[in-house]
Structure 1
């Protein structure tokens, strides 16, 4: 059933199983009825043999006309009925053996008759019963055979009824199976339809997860998690390209500009030395940026997905502060670890490079949108979570625009004159979601903004 749709596979399997059960039940009914029919006819022949023997021996003692009338009323002839009576002596047994041989009945019939006073045999067409009958102290062997025409007809009718019933039931079950399988698979078809509408340009769309949770809800949730990872990967790529172009452009511009100035006219040795120092400094900066970008690209992924590792959050914040100092020497970002002093609770399990991207984006935004005013970057122990608080005294975010800050490429109306891409916060939000964390934001326009990033302790996110 390689190319058959699942709906038809389910209907076919369901039908085959039902047909198998019906065949087994029908066969059981037919066999039990056949056995009952055979035993019932043997019982009739047994009674027939006894009555026939009594009438035969009574015939010699009553008027012939009276015997005929009694026989007609009480001994209705059976199809192909034949009766034999033999003496139980040696001569009678020999005659019975000859008869049995002509009727193709085994000699064991006589043995059973002599030992048990009863014997029965069934051939392809007739059934035969033999009994021992004692009349006035003399033993006789009585044998009756007949064809169970009514019983055979009943079995033929029963077979047709059962066979027709199985065929009709199989057809009905197949149709019902198609309807049932279609209703079961309809939600899956809807999921497939919705997934097919999701492309690289609308990765923010998600499947609806129904309640109560079941296998289909798990499937939708799995798709949503996969879309989270894909969207984060796209955002990381976009962020990487944006950062790379921005970071690489500055030193390259400086190198090209200084070279053009140096080559524009003849200069003395000191001026050339100063130009070379600028070029060397910018080249070193370019090398450092390139190495950092390559390190970010190489360490974010391995063959199985995002690299998950255990690291100290305070050390990561120190590293972020160092990077901010290099990129923006005039910043006033201040670190505060006084509210998280227990060393063991400073460890996180997750993607260090992604968490660094999230925290760096928010910290750099805080410094950029506050015109290098004071920015606090602090750690706080919050029981089952550890919180990173980034507080600035910048332009803030208009209250009616707070709900849009995680939308890709959204930029608040009061910062559109400041250079930016509108992907930092959406990317940070996705990274926090991947790690099972959350972000809380408070902002007052023209006063400042507080970002609180809560990380769960002791559990790594599932990136696979």
Structure 2
């Protein structure tokens, strides 16, 4: 038999509503049964109390021995026609004045009556029959004959027959109602869960070539609207990620094809005829350059692959950003002087302690180097590259701007993607750069819990970095 966790949602709901209806019906039946039983008790108490009042009226007029002997006849005549009643009368010596042949009263109740000021309804069983009775003690007109005990009871077999029939009918009704509720609950659950089946069918149609499928939020109940919205967002993320992966695969194949084709062509040409040692050296040097380019590209791809799973900062230390920038200025000084480009560094800080942040110095140096290299590549000859540092609340802003061709706005959102170039015409003629530089920059900044944005307007392109000053 399957466990509850293995049952379908329809079966669970059906079982739940069926069980709930059974509990409600049984509780209602118990309440009605208890109310009917209590009603029978009150009815019997009222009837027996009436008979006791009649006996009290007769007993209170007893004034002689003869009146005591006449009590049996008087009370016997008063109960003529009440075949379900039984009576026992005891005098002040506990001698029987009148006793019905139907039933014998329990002695304990007869004894308790003399010590209690108020009679209490009680029940007992005798010879397979059930009775309910009252016992009271009355005074006579002549106190010499007092007190006289009167016990009166009624057979409650007809009440029990009714309750037995009622319980049988109740169980039958609960059984039928449970079956009917189960059928209705299954139907309601099946209809109610139909939107989920529709969502499953739509989700089953989603494949690698059909990631544009979306669930209709208007066609599902409000309770499932959030689920449908979340699934649509997931599909959108998957479509975007798959598209990026597809573009990355295409770009990767394109980037690798060119150097490999160059190597194959150059090698085949060199092998087509005998050459001198100098020619072979030149060919090997050219091949070495292509191999170096491939090695850098593979290393960058491995770095980005690791960054996707969370970039690990190996050496976290205090980094003086100004010092790192000045070291990079010296590194690029020859190239900058050749093109008459000047680095303009501006620092806004409230103290003289330097611009310090917590991070991995080599990674931050690589990120700043990639941006400066990119700026040098596209800055016109004789122009200036502006670097502005500003300390803000709990973070440092680094802004690097270079003049040059404006990048269209629709390219800026993708400028940090792998192998993406806003304009292939912006690629340097010497073939430098693989399109991974800015992707690596973003991975490093993200690893430092920072943020980098790009803007380009009026022939001025700026990269703005925000880094927290504590990690």
Superposition map of 1:92-107 within 5 A: 106-107=106-107
Alignment size in residue pairs? 421
Q: Which residue does the alignment assign to 1:121? A: 123
SS of residue in 1 equivalent to 2:25? helix
Change (3 A) 1:71 1:337: farther
Structure 1 residue 269 displacement after superposition: 2.0
Q: Which residue does the alignment assign to 1:421? A: none
Change (3 A) 1:181 1:261: closer
Change (3 A) 1:23 1:213: closer
Distance 1:337 1:129 in 2: 111
Q: Does the 8 A contact of 1:10 with 1:177 survive in 2?
A: yes
Q: Which residue does the alignment assign to 2:417? A: none
Distance 1:140 1:86 in 2: 6
Q: Does the 8 A contact of 1:129 with 1:145 survive in 2?
A: yes
Superposition map of 1:179-218 within 5 A: 179=188, 182-183=191-192, 185-210=193-218, 215-218=223-226
Matched, 1:282 2:290: yes
Structure 1 residue 20 displacement after superposition: 1.1
Structure 1 residue 337 displacement after superposition: 12
Superposition map of 1:22-33 within 5 A: 22-33=25-36
Q: Does the 8 A contact of 1:37 with 1:151 survive in 2?
A: yes
Q: Does the 8 A contact of 1:127 with 1:147 survive in 2?
A: yes
Q: Which residue does the alignment assign to 1:168? A: 177
1:246 to 254, 273, 278: 254
Q: Does the 8 A contact of 2:29 with 2:170 survive in 1?
A: no
Q: Does the 8 A contact of 1:126 with 1:145 survive in 2?
A: yes
1:82 to 76, 80, 86: 86
Distance 1:192 1:278 in 2: 57
Distance 1:221 1:296 in 2: 31
Distance 1:284 1:50 in 2: 121
SS of residue in 1 equivalent to 2:209? helix
Matched, 1:19 2:22: yes
Q: Which residue does the alignment assign to 1:7? A: 10
SS of residue in 2 equivalent to 1:131? strand
Q: Does the 8 A contact of 2:124 with 2:132 survive in 1?
A: yes
Segments of 5+ residues of structure 2 without an aligned counterpart are 314-324, 326-342, 350-354, 357-362, 364-369, 371-384, 389-410, 415-422, 424-450, 457-471
Residues 207-257 of structure 1: CA deviation (Å, up to 9, x unaligned): 233499954222122212322332233223323321221111111112222
Q: Which residue does the alignment assign to 1:133? A: 138
Which deviates the most, 166-175 or 80-89? Answer: 166-175
SS of residue in 1 equivalent to 2:217? coil
Q: Does the 8 A contact of 1:10 with 1:181 survive in 2?
A: no
Aligned-residue RMSD, C-alpha = 6.3
SS of residue in 1 equivalent to 2:252? helix
Distance 2:44 2:181 in 1: 37
Change (3 A) 1:7 1:50: same
Superposition map of 1:49-60 within 5 A: 49-52=52-55
SS of residue in 2 equivalent to 1:224? helix
TM-score, reference length from structure 1: 0.60
Q: Which residue does the alignment assign to 2:39? A: 36
Q: Which residue does the alignment assign to 2:109? A: 109
SS of residue in 2 equivalent to 1:126? strand
Q: Which residue does the alignment assign to 1:147? A: 155
Q: Which residue does the alignment assign to 1:408? A: none
Q: Does the 8 A contact of 1:15 with 1:177 survive in 2?
A: no
Segments of 5+ residues of structure 1 without an aligned counterpart are 310-317, 319-334, 345-351, 353-359, 361-375, 380-401, 406-414, 416-436, 443-464
Structure 1 residue 176 displacement after superposition: 4.6
Change (3 A) 1:253 1:203: same
TM-score, reference length from structure 2: 0.59
Change (3 A) 1:144 1:229: same
Q: Does the 8 A contact of 1:127 with 1:145 survive in 2?
A: yes
Distance 1:337 1:78 in 2: 120
Structure 1 residue 201 displacement after superposition: 0.6
Structure 1 residue 171 displacement after superposition: 2.2
Q: Which residue does the alignment assign to 1:271? A: 279
Distance 1:197 1:34 in 2: 63
Q: Which residue does the alignment assign to 1:228? A: 236
Q: Does the 8 A contact of 1:128 with 1:143 survive in 2?
A: yes
